[in-house]
A and B are shown apart, each in its own frame.
Chain A
């Protein structure tokens, strides 16, 4: 039982990382109708920024965290201007390829700057484990859960209720009407990229101490996050979070109880089952076509 609970915590922890990346996916998809294939690399960029701030510049770990997230905000603007903005009036295909090219670019740039060798990233708390009534829990997984909870609370309690959040929602639902109502649509889209980059960067920073940080770390995370957003119901923020947590738990339990080599398969088997049995995901996506 203790073992099971430990697995649950690490499953939820890794799932929270997927959830943060998936949330970024979904927000960008809703705002700009773009499936951003570079979202995983954004997490990787976040992790490396943290390494620069905390290891290379020897900043206090919390200060480094803030600096890295600030860096992600600037990165989000650059990403939007370089990858999305020139193609904003094009069909989905060139935009997808553009984000794919950006992901290749980021990965290779990271490899050029930081080298291909994995680097380790310090955790936010120095303590490794904490004992809770006979169960030994990893502090890092608990940290991930706490930070994710803060982001989610911010999303629903602050952002969604603010004017900014309502403008984001209006942009997501109907750009033309939003524009007519005076919502600065282009700005809202840029803001969404910034916010999603911060989410993705946070995911990278949080997962860094568990795995090593390396240029290729983004791909797997992105694929899982993508699966999470579909399972939850594409375009649905709650769905992205629930889907991410679900995938984290299932693959952790699957690896422990069924088979370790096929660890990465569980998410996709689940995904394919979902696509065939309930293609609109747990929470559904609003799709309508008018003749």
Chain B
């Protein structure tokens, strides 16, 4: 069945070779094909922004328009479409970068609104800045480029040109998905907090997604202008943005193929339905609604599901070498030091003036009753919450006030009390996320599938398989994280933290929700990590697990440290007993009377 893998590519090549001569001599078909191709290219930008990164853009037609107008204006003045296309791309990447910056403060419906606002402003500019855009009349006489002296005024060569660009960019967006940066983008969509804590600079990555996505849409706009040879503001209004969004989602926003498919379907559908005359747009809308209701992931997501059943992915051979994880540290040397750390939420002192040191190769447990501030400590250490006062250092590095991804880059990784996996990604991809810290490849390198990207991918995959084997999940690597049982999801989080090779591993209630046998194997796993010299900071309620794994204990109560030291010593501390078991009744009476 291996040959089946090449079938899709064969279809693509056949399409590019045969479509232009078939449709090129008919004005109507050629125009329709050019429209579908340039819109498809435009929507590939949306695939990156929305499908991969999960950032909603309702201003994609504005990028498309900026690309088209930039290209048209420059080309009309210089008589060079190449210069025009270049100008269009530069201009849109600039705007994409700017819109991307707005994701610093907002996401979700706020971002949707920013992009709608952007769309509206651009539409108004195109209509009213008559001296530059010619206003509602539009721009006429836009040239087409020449390649090696071949004029593309004829539709057939121009179709070859546009389809080639569509396929090249489509392939770039398609391969991006499986490489390091594509994974980073998808993890932002899947679980932004986890992405950040796994070392992804979420903000920068979003800006990158917007910049590249806008650039692609801008290129499409330039080609569209060149194809139509005439543009006017109405082609780039809010309705067009909505229609771009619909095309992308109907086809399947999560993949390049789905996006182009959706564009083709929704571009041709109204034409096919024209025989219905007045009611054709109603039927069109009903079909769109039906597809979204029936296939929320888009048409292509259904195809992909069948495809993966037809050709199951095979796991590479795993070598049985014993592995260890984590950067080596010196035994007994202070590693992670918290000095006077406080975290206040308004008037609530969740953590108050905490001093604590985790030394090399120890397992240090942070225990205390519910609400005593244990998880808050981990959240402050990993930069999830800003610190109120105090300092945190790892070896000689000051981690205080650093963002999460920087803290991770110094060698701290964690798991979460409430599991934070990207549910729509495979277990393997989730684990590979932990390796982002060690990436060397570039975003654009990933898009051209550079040798460095492929080497990195292979290396990361191998590491991730090793970690999955280590935690005992080697059989489940290709499953979606959502399909795993609760206990197994915890192990995926552990594997994800391990592949990052941390100096200190932070575990937030790893045994929560596990049954007895799962807890028992977790204990074995943690003891094995410890015997291999890992340094662990553990927050846990299960005292039998703590006593089996931990060397030292810090006990918190109402945000205060009430005891610290070797496990047995701390457990016999009266203050600790009181916090856990309450006071003897006699004492309480005595104190009340005094």
Contact = CB atoms under 8 A, between A and B. Distances in A.
B50 to A, nearest CB: 8
A271 B420 CA distance: 33
A187 B250 CA distance: 29
B113 A289 contact: no
Interface string A262-281: 10110011011001100100
Interface in A101-119: 101-105, 108-109, 111-112
Contacts of A150: none
A112 B278 contact: yes
Nearest to B385: A291
A97 interface: yes
Contacts of B548: none
Contacts of B242: 37, 100, 103-104
Contacts of B127: 261
A276 B108 contact: no
Chain A interface residue count: which class? 35 or more
Interface in B502-518: none
B289 interface: yes
A98 interface: yes
Contacts, number: 126
A48 interface: no
A275 B113 contact: yes
Given A93-B249, A230-B110, A275-B106, A289 B284 contact: no
Nearest to B194: A291
Interface in A72-109: 82-83, 86-87, 90-94, 96-98, 100-105, 108-109
A101 B292 contact: yes
B285 A101 contact: yes
Q: Decide if the interface of chain B is mainly helix, strand, loop or mixed.
A: helix
Q: Decide if the interface of chain A is mainly helix, strand, loop or mixed.
A: helix
Chain B interface residue count: which class? 35 or more
B281 A100 contact: no
A90 B121 contact: no
Interface in B330-385: 375, 378-379, 384-385
Contact of B281 (A111, A227, A230): A111
B128 interface: yes
Nearest to A29: B109
Contacts of B118: 272
Given A87-B296, A265-B120, A93 B253 contact: yes
B285 A104 contact: yes
A279 B282 contact: no
Contact of A112 (B109, B279, B385): B279
Interface in B283-323: 284-286, 288-289, 292-293, 296-297
Nearest to A91: B296
A141 interface: no
A35 interface: yes
B121 A269 contact: yes
A226 B297 CA distance: 26
B154 interface: no
Contact of A105 (B102, B238, B285, B296): B285
Given A97-B292, A265-B121, A275-B105, A108 B285 contact: yes
Interface string B403-437: 00000000000001110100000000000000000
Interface of A: 29, 35, 37, 82-83, 86-87, 90-94, 96-98, 100-105, 108-109, 111-112, 219, 223, 226-227, 230, 234, 261-262, 264-265, 268-269, 271-272, 275-276, 279, 289-291
7 contacts: A86-B293, A93-B54, A94-B296, A96-B56, A97-B246, A100-B242, A103-B242
Given A101-B288, A264-B120, 6 more contacts: A92-B108, A93-B296, A112-B282, A234-B109, A262-B128, A272-B114
